[in-house]
Amino acid sequence: MLIAKGYAVTFKMADGKTIRPPASYALLHDEEGSDWPRCSGLVAPVARVSSQPVQSRAASAYFGSEPVAGQMVLPPRNLSAWRPVGTVAEVLYTRRRPRGLPSAHAADYYHPVTKGTATLYRRDRHYRLELGAGCAWNWRGIIRP
């Protein structure tokens, strides 16, 4: 299951450029790697399908409150279907919940890439952040590289 880790994502690139997908796009991550590769983040639009809470221990722990369901059509997982954009130096995003839903961890987050390499890809309206083997995510989001 993909969990929205944050919104208003900004990528600061190693070449000095800044890439800002639409602020409504979510930074999505699949902790288990069943729907999307575990060391890959997806930045894409998500449509909210219900106001009813979803039973997800991982999402509840991440948000500090019960999550609600969203829906999207996943782009191809195969990396060859994506166009490389460049090397990412830092990822910034805000953690908020749509429509004022409660969030115990609401804040602005930033993750400099200090070890390893993070590569940004694009396909149509979607962005994909490849963090490489040995990546780590926790309740704050990206930990490494």
Q: Is 118 within 8 Å of 88 (Cβ atoms)?
A: yes
pTM of this prediction exceeds 0.75? yes
Q: Is 84 within 8 Å of 119 (Cβ atoms)?
A: yes
- The pLDDT tens digits of the residues spanning 98-144 come to 556 556 667 788 899 988 899 999 999 999 999 988 898 877 678 88
Dist. CA 113–CA 129, nearest whole Å: 12
Count other C-beta atoms under 10 Å from residue 109's C-beta.
16
What are the residue boundaries of the structural domains of the chain, listed by start?
2-144
CA dihedral (111, 138, 107, 37) positive or negative: positive
Dist. CA 51–CA 32, nearest whole Å: 25
User: What is residue 107's predicted lDDT score, i.e. its pLDDT?
Assistant: 78
Dist. CA 91–CA 97, nearest whole Å: 19
The highest-confidence range among 37-46, 49-58, 66-75, by mean pLDDT, is 37-46
Q: Which two tokens stand for residue 1?
A: 């299951």
Q: What Cα–Cα distance (Å) separates residue 133 from each residue in 39, 67, 104, 116, 120?
A: 7, 28, 30, 9, 15
